Amino acid sequence: MDDKSLKAVSGGIFLIGLGLLFLIPALGFWPWILAVIGAAGLPAALSEDKGWAGWQGFFWMIGLAVLFYTGLWWPGILILIGISTILGAATRGQGGSPFTDSDDATVANASDDEDWGSK
């Protein structure tokens, strides 16, 4: 999918989430609108290759929605900050993804250079 399509997916997710919030009154509008905003922003952020920064908005919005819903604001925010810090540190050297190995990225870049030089 191209960037424009993923941004359209973000809009669709937002409208579906908003509709569900109004359709299911027992769910409540606040704080779940935060979760809808976080879920809607994820495809657009990932289409721009933002790595952890793209996931971080999603992570924080979902986390804040859960904290507001449960009322566990004070201990919960410390846990949320800690998890965000650990994941941010883990992804700093891998181009934004905790799932890639820096050696694999080096090998991939070297093979790309060889292919380019042979043409």
* Predicted confidence (pLDDT) per residue in 28-74, tens digit: 899 999 999 999 998 888 777 767 777 888 899 999 999 999 999 99
Tell me the mean pLDDT in the region 68-88.
Answer: 92
The total number of structural domains that make up the chain:
1
* b/e 88-112 (16+ beta carbons within 10 angstroms → b): eeebeebebeeeeeeeeeeeeeeee
pLDDT at residue 14 tops 60: yes
In whole angstroms, what is the distance from residue 56 CA to residue 88 CA? 8
Between 111 and 58, the more confident residue is: 58
Task: Return the pLDDT at 13.
Answer: 95
Q: Would you call 95 helix, strand, or coil by DSSP?
A: coil
Structural domain span for residue 7: 3-117
**25 pLDDT band (50/70/90 cuts)?**
confident
pLDDT at residue 99 tops 80: no
Neighbours of 50 (CB within 10 A): 14
Between 110 and 86, the more confident residue is: 86
Percent of the chain with pLDDT over 90: 41
Q: Could you tell me the pTM of the whole model?
A: 0.70
